[in-house]
Chains A and B, each alone.
Chain A
């Protein structure tokens, strides 16, 4: 069945870096755009970034632009999120999600279980 499994979260000091991974199975990874969405403690969902099926067409939320980089390795069926210059407000559970797209009408299905990132000194 379709599965997305995030990893790489942890506790990191402000200003440091962390790389998240999302390993997928059960579908042809190279056919789909992929997203990262995060959820701060006790808060709602916030879209973070998207990457096209072939690694092109990256787009970012203003809150992470210039600090985070989304990438993918279609040969390894894995999505990544490189997070640099981390701040306290980046503390959240990070989810990866597969997109289904018609022009800008995008829905996310399915989602992973999430990985916790805590930025603290």
Chain B
């Protein structure tokens, strides 16, 4: 079972803004470890979307943004587009487990 909790699903109409939360604890996000976000399209390997809590790799649209506060992090998608329909995962490190941990995953549906 994952130590990072995400909502199972979020949805929005094209052009709207949606946010995905990632809730951890004092042994991972709250301990200061970075949070990274990945997008996974059906049948594909994950793609790095946000790294180091707030940074976008080259090629990732600026519609995607990340934030972190305390023991939680969030991914926001503004101006939602049909191509954003995918699964999204947060990821960090847990010092109690001495392991790299992923969130439970969130399916984004564009209505």
Name A residues whose Cβ lies closer than 8 Å to a Cβ of B.
35, 37, 44-47, 50, 59, 61-62, 95, 97, 100, 104-114
Contact = CB atoms under 8 A, between A and B. Distances in A.
B82 to A, nearest CB: 23
B102 A44 contact: yes
B105 A111 contact: no
A31 to B, nearest CB: 18
A17 to B, nearest CB: 24
A107 B103 contact: no
A44 B5 CA distance: 11
Interface string B77-100: 000000000000101010101111
Nearest to A59: B98
B52 A105 contact: yes
A113 B45 contact: yes
Interface of B: 2, 33-34, 36, 38, 44-48, 51-52, 57, 89, 91, 93, 95, 97-105
B100 A35 contact: yes
A34 to B, nearest CB: 13
10 contacts: A37-B102, A44-B2, A44-B103, A45-B102, A46-B102, A105-B93, A106-B93, A106-B100, A107-B52, A110-B48
Contacts of A37: 102
Nearest to B2: A44
A52 B104 CA distance: 27
